[in-house]
């Protein structure tokens, strides 16, 4: 740094120190415990994201750290990052995820490691770091979609953009909480700035800029701290305006989306990001969903959790169900006894008639095709498919679970046919893939349906205990439902009792229905048609985007 640059930096710090709240002045003292901790964190993050890192070297560093290896493999195998295969080695994870993503994981892990230095307010620090990680993921995904030259730099910048808040929170947790509370009460930038000066003595970004100078952060980030903390309006023109817009916009969108903010603030932030980025609305919506999903998986892999009060986007299993489906015909209806009966004890009539597909195959398939033709969206398509499996294919019980669109680790039970009461069955096919339904996670990565002859032969701990106790399965069929290459959920069906296991012929019947649905888009409109040549749920990405927006009951967008 030149002498003039050093003088300017010194003058800025002296100016800030004089006006700063007394409790925060130690941030600029050599003896402050906060200074070496945060400075080393920043430098480690910058080094991990620097130009000298190589895939082989990074994989080697990660492999020497068991905890970091587990984190990287967990992220690599979640549906948000790897929808089609299971990744078992660090080198494979690096090649699959890409160097920028893995370096981001390493950098984030180092930031999280510093949590033990903060003896109090751990919850607040975890939430702050978690939001920073999601903001960084948003920035990286948005930059990639915009063909930004080095999207990894945007991840680093967005992650470090909160470093001033971390410093305040470390030095005076109560002051930081007061700042957060004040920020929720004001809406205008001018009022927010006045509140920051009242509480801190200086604007929050001015303090962050002075700290960035001390810690030798990148010049672009120092310049960003010196800019207004508002999202640029209109289409971004210059390179710095794009850099500014992506980081500020990603941070603000995560703040208003996860935190308690009115819907109008969320929509306005999205609109400004959409206009500024110049992306097509459909692409922008896809990027936003993918970024939130990947951000949550990253947060989870770091062992962090957002404050439960902030989890507004995760839907409730009990309320977010499919629209009512007509009850099955008496001939095939099962499990409809009194609710006091244990769920797995639903009896099967001794003389259950043969399924329609066995008695009248052509007529049954024509009726199935007609029901698909009438489907107007993905909701009705899935209902038609599940109902036909239950009524026409002759499966006693059918369960349908859908991945949460904002958090693909969360499986949400949406439909059960042939078993009552519904609530325990729906809950049993809901839950975290990484923590409760590891076996279902492996199924989601398959293209073909899986016939399970004996559930007791599966590895213990890979299936949610509640599923085994409630459904009491002996044998069954599970298949991944997909849109393009991305799984959106699972369908499960069985014969319900030990006396009626699933046989090869049942699997063939399932395949017949499973392979009998496809999607066509005549004249630019989505239209469901019947075919026996294409997997039913290998649907186009365009349909995925439009159908999910049109089917909130199923996909539960924010």
User: pLDDT tens digits, residue range 221-249?
Assistant: 888 898 877 888 899 988 889 999 999 99
Token pair belonging to 519: 């999607």
* Mean pLDDT value across residues 351-375: 81
Are 279 and 145 within 8 A, CB to CB? yes
- Can you point out the beta strands (E) in 301-439? 397-404, 407-417, 431-432
Q: How many Cβ atoms are within 10 Å of 356's Cβ, its own excluded?
A: 21
Give the pLDDT confidence of 375-429 residue by residue, as tens digits.
788 888 888 899 999 999 989 999 999 999 888 999 999 999 999 899 999 999 9
Question: Which position has the higher pLDDT, 5 or 175?
Answer: 175
How confident is the model over 39-45, as a mean pLDDT? Answer: 72
Whether 163 shows a pLDDT value over 60: the answer reads yes
DSSP string, 76-115: HHSTTT-SS----SHHHHHHHH-HHHHHHHHHHHHHHHGG
pLDDT, residue 334, reads: 37
Q: How far apart are CA 19 and CA 201, in angstroms?
A: 5
Measured in degrees and rounded to the nearest 5, phi and psi for residue 391 equal -85, -40
Nearest to 414 by CA among 484, 318, 338: 318
What pLDDT shows up at residue 33? 62
167 burial via Cβ count (<10 Å: 0-12, 13-18, 19+): buried
* E strand or H helix that includes residue 431: strand 431-432
How is domain 343-555 classified at the architecture level of CATH?
A: 2-Layer Sandwich (3.30)
pLDDT band at 499 (very low <50, low <70, confident <90, very high): low
φ and ψ at residue 486, rounded to 5 degrees: -95, 125
**What tokens does 74 get?**
């967990």
The distance from CA 499 to its chain's CA centroid, rounded to whole angstroms, is 41
pLDDT above 70 for 9: no
Q: Cβ distance 28 to 13 under 8 Å?
A: yes
Predicted local confidence at residue 449, as pLDDT: 92
Q: How far apart, in whole angstroms, are the C-alpha atoms of residue 472 and residue 468?
A: 5
Residue 109 dihedral angles phi and psi, to the nearest 5°? -60, -40
The predicted pLDDT at position 360 comes to 87
* HEC-encoded secondary structure of 134-164: HHHHHHHHHHHHCCCCCHHHHHHHHHHCCHH
CATH fold of 13-310 = Hypothetical protein af1432 (1.10.3210)
Cα–Cα distance, 554 to 403 (Å, whole number): 10
Lowest-pLDDT range of 55-59, 158-162, 312-316, 476-480:
312-316
Average pLDDT over residues 70-93: 87
The two three-digit tokens of residue 550, written as one number: 């049109």
Specify whether the CB–CB gap between 379 and 549 falls below 8 A: no
User: In this structure, what token pair is assigned to residue 501?
Assistant: 């296991």
Q: Does the pLDDT of residue 289 top 50, yes or no?
A: yes
pLDDT for residue 245: 93
Contact call for residues 38 and 163 (beta carbons, < 8 A): yes
Which token pair is 63?
Answer: 């492999």
For the chain, percent of residues with pLDDT exceeding 90: 25
pLDDT of 247 reads 94
Reported as a pLDDT band with limits 50, 70 and 90, residue 318 is very low
pLDDT (tens digit, 9 = 90+) per residue, 427-461? Answer: 999 999 988 999 999 999 888 899 999 888 888 78
Query: What are the residue ranges spanned by the domains of the chain?
Result: 13-310, 343-555
Closest CA to 230 of 189, 180, 173, 192: 189
Residue 554: both structure tokens together: 């199923």
How far is the C-alpha of 507 from the C-alpha of 409, rounded, in Å? Answer: 28
Q: Give me the torsion for CA of 241, 246, 252, 257, rounded to 10°.
A: 150
411 has which bridge partners?
A: 403, 431
CB 337 within 8 A of CB 346: yes
Residue 138's pLDDT band (cuts 50, 70, 90): very high
Q: Mean pLDDT, to the nearest integer, of 368-376? A: 82
Q: What does pLDDT average to over the chain?
A: 78
């Amino acid at each position: 740094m030149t002498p003039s640059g050093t003088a300017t930096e010194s003058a800025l710090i002296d100016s800030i120190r004089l006006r700063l709240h007394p409790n925060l002045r130690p941030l600029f003292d050599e003896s402050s415990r906060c200074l070496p901790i945060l400075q080393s964190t920043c430098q480690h993050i910058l080094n991990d994201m620097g130009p000298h890192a190589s895939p082989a070297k990074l994989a080697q560093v990660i492999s020497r750290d068991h905890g970091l290896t587990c984190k990287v493999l967990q992220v690599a195998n979640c549906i948000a990052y790897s929808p089609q295969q299971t990744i078992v080695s660090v080198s494979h994870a690096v090649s699959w995820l890409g160097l920028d993503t893995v370096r981001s994981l390493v950098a984030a892990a180092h930031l999280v490691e510093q949590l033990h230095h903060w003896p109090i307010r751990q919850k607040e620090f975890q939430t702050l770091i978690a939001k920073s990680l999601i903001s960084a993921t948003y920035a990286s995904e948005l930059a990639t979609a915009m063909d930004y030259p080095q999207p990894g730099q945007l991840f680093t910048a967005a992650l470090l953009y909160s470093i001033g808040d971390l410093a305040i929170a470390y030095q005076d947790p109560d002051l930081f909480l007061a700042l957060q509370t004040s920020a929720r009460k004001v809406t205008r930038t001018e009022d927010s700035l006045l509140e920051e000066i009242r509480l801190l003595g200086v604007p929050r970004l001015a303090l962050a800029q002075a700290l960035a100078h001390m810690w030798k952060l990148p010049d672009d980030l120092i310049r960003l701290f010196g800019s207004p903390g508002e999202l640029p309006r209109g289409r971004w023109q210059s390179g710095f305006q794009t850099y500014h817009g992506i980081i500020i916009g990603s941070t603000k969108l995560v703040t208003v989306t996860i935190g308690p903010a009115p819907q109008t603030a969320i929509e306005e932030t999205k609109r400004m990001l959409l206009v500024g980025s110049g992306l097509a609305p459909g692409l922008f919506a896809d990027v936003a969903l993918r970024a939130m999903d990947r951000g949550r998986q990253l947060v989870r892999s770091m062992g962090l959790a957002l404050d439960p009060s902030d989890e507004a986007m995760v839907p409730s299993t009990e309320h977010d169900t499919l629209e009512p489906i007509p009850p099955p015909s008496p001939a095939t209806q099962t499990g409809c006894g009194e609710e006091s009966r244990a769920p797995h004890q639903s009896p099967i009539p001794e003389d259950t008639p043969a399924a329609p597909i066995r008695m009248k195959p052509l007529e049954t398939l024509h009726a199935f095709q007609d029901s698909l033709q009438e489907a107007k969206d993905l909701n009705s398509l899935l209902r038609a498919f599940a109902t036909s499996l239950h009524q026409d294919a002759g499966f006693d019980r059918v369960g349908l679970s859908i991945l949460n669109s904002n958090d693909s680790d969360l499986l949400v039970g949406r439909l059960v046919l042939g078993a009552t009461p519904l609530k325990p069955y729906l809950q049993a096919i809901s839950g975290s893939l990484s923590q409760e339904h590891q076996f279902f996670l492996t199924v989601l990565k398959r293209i073909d349906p899986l016939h399970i002859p004996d559930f007791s032969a599966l590895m213990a701990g890979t299936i949610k205990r509640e599923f085994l106790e409630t459904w009491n399965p002996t044998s069954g069929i599970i298949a991944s439902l997909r849109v393009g290459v991305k799984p959106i959920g699972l369908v499960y069906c069985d014969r319900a009792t030990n006396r009626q296991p699933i046989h090869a012929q049942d699997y063939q019947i399932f395949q017949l229905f499973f392979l009998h649905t496809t999607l066509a888009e005549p004249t630019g409109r989505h239209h469901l048609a019947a075919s026996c040549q294409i997997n039913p749920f290998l649907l186009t990405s365009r349909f995925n985007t439009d159908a999910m927006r049109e089917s909130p009951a199923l996909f539960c967008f924010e």
